[in-house]
């Protein structure tokens, strides 16, 4: 789950990380009041689950409360498009009004999971305020890492090493190392997926300040963080992913292709996507229905796939172990009859109760494309998608 910048900053402040003074506003008048109360020049920042807001017109400087109101008028209600959002952008209903920071230097600092090392990693760079992917691409020597070993934690020497490497020496050495330690603590205690401060600012008077903050958590740990999950803003998420969550489908991920997939088990899901790609197709989603043995759950899942305008054909690929293929077949028939699945639909069933499952499909009289085995299912799906689009 992703937090908004203002939420992330509140969290980081709780861990002793210095952030600029700021206030949230949801109307231009509130923005005016916030700027008045702060009593300084301010920056008005769109709150959206994306980076690159600055370049997308979502961050504006304002010298007076009237200017802050104008900036908020321009930003509130916009669909903010950045290099991360796709062309539809994200709706903006909240702005953060913050005191302007006197920026002497901009650095980059984050904690993320290094999947190959199987540990959190602290990443620091003197090249702050820019896209870190770009820095990694063009000047990789500017990026410094320290792995966090779970049994001994983030060590003070690691903080000092990163501080030296990014030019945070002298009087900044201790506060920089302490800030890193606090960021790691915030990351660990909240089951972070990524905690990023970009830019981490050195102010004109030599203070460190988190001028931007992004924090996302590992969804699998939501149950341990009731208070954090209250901060969830579903307006920033893919509508179908939210619907899938509400229907109890944990594993639905929207992808860029045009073949909708209903499968069971994450392994089968990945193998199905590989098979489609191998045949020259592109999956539109990853949907693992698991062992949901209820036709309702199957219908809910197919409704989500069927209502996606990007989907031009659907592949139902089920290997029934604990999952019963006759229940899957029931769900497919209901979804078809209710008009929830208008796209050409390829069905491949194998495993538990497959005779009953196939019989249900046969007796439905529906125009379904049947496939035996993986390769045939993938070929027929790719062909159906090509015909339909
Ligand atoms: P992002 O584009 O979504 O990463 O949003 P940021 O919060 O990082 O803002 C983008 C850029 O706006 C920063 O890199 C800064 O250069 C600039 N910026 C943000 N806050 C301030 C501020 O208080 N004062 C000044 N002068 N610039 C700021
Ligand atoms: Mn930023």
Count how many domains the chain has: 3
Question: Do 214 and 282 touch, CB atoms closer than 8 A?
Answer: no
Residue 29: per-residue pLDDT: 98
Q: Is the sign of the CA dihedral 259, 263, 191, 153 positive or negative? A: negative
Residue located nearest, by CA, to atom 15 of ligand 1: 129
- The CATH number linked to 211 is 3.30.470.20
Q: Which of the residues 67, 98, 106, 108 is marked catalytic? A: 108
Is residue 59 in contact with ligand 1, taking CB distance under 6 Å? yes
284 and 202 assigned to the same domain:
no
Query: Would residue 108 show up in a list of annotated catalytic residues for this protein?
Result: yes
Residue after which a domain boundary falls, among 183, 209, 236: 236
Examine the domain organization and report whether 379 and 261 are in the same domain: yes
CATH number of the domain encompassing residue 86: 3.30.1490.20
Give the global pTM.
0.83
Q: DSSP of 278-321, one letter per residue?
A: HTT--BSEEEE-TT---HHHHHHHHHHHHT-TT-SEEEEEEEES
Closest atom of ligand 1 relative to the 52 alpha carbon: 2
Question: 131 with 212, same domain?
Answer: yes
For ligand 1, say whether the CB of 181 is within 6 Å of any of its atoms: no
Q: What percent of the residues of the chain are helix, what percent strand, and what percent coil, each to the nearest 5?
A: 40, 25, 35
Q: Which of 47, 97, 26, 37 is nearest to 68 (CA)?
A: 97
- Here the CATH number for the domain that contains residue 266 is 3.40.50.261
pLDDT at site 249? 82
Q: Which of 5, 98, 196, 252 is catalytic?
A: 196
328 touches 299 (CB < 8 A):
no
Considering the domain architecture, whether residues 126 and 271 belong to the same structural domain is answered as no
Domain boundary, last residue among 80, 100, 120: 100
CB count within 10 Å of CB 172 equals 18
Q: Does residue 85 sit in the same domain as residue 113? A: no
Q: Which ligand has the minimum distance to the alpha carbon of residue 95?
A: 1
Say yes or no: 350 and 314 in one domain: yes
Domain end marker among 49, 74, 100: 100
User: In the Cβ-directed half-sphere of 369, how many Cα atoms lie within 13 Å?
Assistant: 20
Q: Are 142 and 251 in a shared domain?
A: no
Same domain, 106 and 134: yes
pLDDT at 329: 97
Q: Are residues 83 and 156 in the same domain?
A: no
The per-residue DSSP string of 8-66 comes to HHHHHHHTT-----EEEESSHHHHHHHHHHHTS-EEEEE--S-S-TTTTT-EEEESSHH
Using a 6 Å cutoff on CB, does residue 52 contact ligand 1? yes
Catalytic, 30? Answer: no
Q: Are residues 87 and 1 in the same domain?
A: no
- Judgement on whether residues 244 and 363 belong to the same structural domain of the protein: yes
- Ranges assigned E (strand) in the chain: 22-25, 42-46, 59-62, 79-80, 90-91, 95-99, 103-114, 119-125, 143-147, 192-203, 208-210, 214-217, 251-254, 259-263, 285-288, 313-320, 345-351, 369-370
Which residues are 318's β-sheet partners? 349
- Which of 204, 211, 213, 236 gets mutated to test ligand 1 (max ligand atoms within 8 A of its CB)? 211
42 lines ligand 1 (CB under 6 A): no
Ligand nearest to the CA of 82: 1
For residue 380, the enclosing domain spans 238-388
Chunked mean pLDDT (size 10), the chain, 389 residues: 97 98 98 98 97 94 98 97 91 98 97 97 95 92 97 96 97 97 98 98 97 95 94 91 82 93 93 96 93 88 95 96 93 97 97 96 96 95 94
Q: Is 196 in the pocket of ligand 1 (CB under 6 A)?
A: no
Query: Are residues 153 and 189 located together in one domain of the fold?
Result: yes
> Which of the listed residues 3, 48, 54, 109 should we mutate to test ligand 1's pocket, taking the one with most ligand atoms within 8 A of CB?
54
Ligand 1: atom nearest CA of 54 is 2
Between the CA atoms of 32, 37, 39 and 41, what dihedral angle is there, to the nearest 10 degrees?
A: -40
């Amino acid at each position: 789950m992703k937090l908004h910048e203002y939420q992330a900053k509140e969290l980081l402040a709780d861990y002793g990380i210095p952030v600029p003074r700021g206030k949230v506003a949801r109307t231009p008048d509130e923005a005016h009041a916030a700027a008045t109360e702060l009593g300084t020049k301010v920056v008005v920042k769109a709150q959206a689950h994306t980076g690159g807001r600055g370049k997308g017109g979502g961050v504006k400087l304002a010298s007076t409360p009237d200017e802050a109101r104008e900036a908020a008028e321009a930003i509130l209600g916009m669909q903010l498009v950045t290099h991360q959002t796709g062309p539809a952008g994200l709706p903006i209903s909240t702005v953060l009004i913050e005191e302007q920071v006197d920026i002497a230097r901009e650095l980059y600092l984050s904690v993320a999971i290094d999947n190959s090392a199987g540990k959190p990693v602290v990443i620091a760079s003197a090249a702050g305020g820019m896209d870190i992917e770009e820095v990694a691409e063009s000047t990789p020597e500017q990026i410094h890492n320290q792995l966090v070993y779970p049994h001994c934690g983030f060590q003070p020497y690691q903080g000092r090493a990163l501080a030296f490497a990014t030019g945070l020496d002298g009087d900044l050495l201790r506060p920089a190392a302490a800030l890193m330690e606090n960021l790691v603590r915030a990351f660990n205690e909240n089951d972070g997926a990524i905690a990023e401060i970009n830019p981490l600012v050195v102010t004109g008077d030599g203070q460190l300040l988190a001028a931007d903050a992004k924090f996302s958590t590992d969804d699998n740990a939501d149950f341990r963080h009731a208070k954090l999950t209250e901060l969830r803003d579903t307006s920033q998420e893919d509508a179908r992913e939210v619907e899938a969550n509400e229907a109890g489908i944990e594993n639905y991920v929207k992808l860029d292709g045009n073949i909708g997939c209903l499968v069971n088990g994450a392994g089968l899901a990945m193998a199905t996507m590989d098979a489609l790609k191998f045949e020259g197709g592109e999956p539109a989603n990853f949907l693992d229905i698991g062992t949901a043995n209820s036709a309702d759950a199957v219908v809910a899942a197919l409704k989500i796939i069927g209502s996606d305008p990007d989907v031009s054909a659907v592949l139902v690929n089920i290997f029934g172990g604990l999952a019963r293929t006759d229940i899957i077949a029931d769900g497919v028939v209901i979804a078809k009859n209710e008009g929830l699945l208008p796209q050409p639909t390829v069905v491949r069933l194998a495993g538990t109760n497959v005779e009953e499952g196939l019989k249900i499909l046969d007796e439905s009289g529906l125009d379904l494309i049947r496939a035996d085995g993986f390769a045939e299912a993938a070929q027929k799906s790719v062909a159906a998608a090509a015909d339909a689009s």
